[in-house]
Amino acid sequence: MVECDIIEKASDRDIADWLGQRLACSLEENDGPIAVTVPGGSTPFPILRKLTETPLEWERITFWPGDDRMVPEDHSASNTGKIRALLEPTGAEVVRLTEMEQVPHFTLAWLGMGGDGHIASLFPNTDPQVDDMQAIRRLTPDPLPPEAPFDRITLTMPSILASDELLFVIRGADKRAVFEQALRGESDLPIARLLGAATQKVTCFA
């Protein structure tokens, strides 16, 4: 079973400070740029907003959305547009996912998780595989979430696993139960498949 450090009752500021320390250490250990993937949804943006207050060599950091809806960046459902608006003023680079993009090794892969155990846009119905030959996939969730009924583009499991560290921010008792069940290998949900294949450090703020 993968080792996971579960940190309880952390505030957005606590998580942002943790992220800032991780990124600062990675920048110190590397001469060139570093890449980080971050989730969309409502949870990460207050944390990212606080992270922008941290003094970092932002111009050396490239941020990748873990997934996005197939909409223009100025659409309210676009993860990329929101991430770009928040982080590009710091000097960081924000990448738009396309199926032709070359995915780097990530210093940190920050993921959210849905109540159904999906990560990025790897929903249970998409049958994501840890040995997927593609780095990025376009797919259609089934059923389509009513709050965001759009096709998706997403990093695949091998792209997420090509990272030094995995981070989750899980809010709510129901989601935590799904996450902990996956940690124990007691399901075949996408989150369980990912954790079952992970060899790097995993941290979960719950």
Domain holding 47: CATH number?
Answer: 3.40.50.1360
For the entire predicted model, the pTM comes to 0.95
User: Residue 11's pLDDT is what?
Assistant: 97
**Residues 135-147: pLDDT tens digits?**
999 999 888 888 8
Domain enclosing residue 108, as ranges: 4-205
The string of DSSP codes covering the chain is ---EEEE-S--HHHHHHHHHHHHHHHHHH-SS-EEEEE--SSSHHHHHHHHTTS---GGGEEEEESEEESS-TTSTT-HHHHHHHHHGGGT-EEPPP-TTPPP--BSEEEE---TTS-BTTB-GGG---TT-S-SEEEE--SSPPTTS-S-EEEE-HHHHHSBSEEEEE--SHHHHHHHHHHHTT---SHHHHHHHH--SEEEEE-
Would the pLDDT of 123 be above 90?
A: yes
Domain tally, the chain? 1
User: What does the pLDDT read at residue 146?
Assistant: 83
Residue-wise pLDDT tens digits, 93-115: 999 999 888 999 999 999 999 99
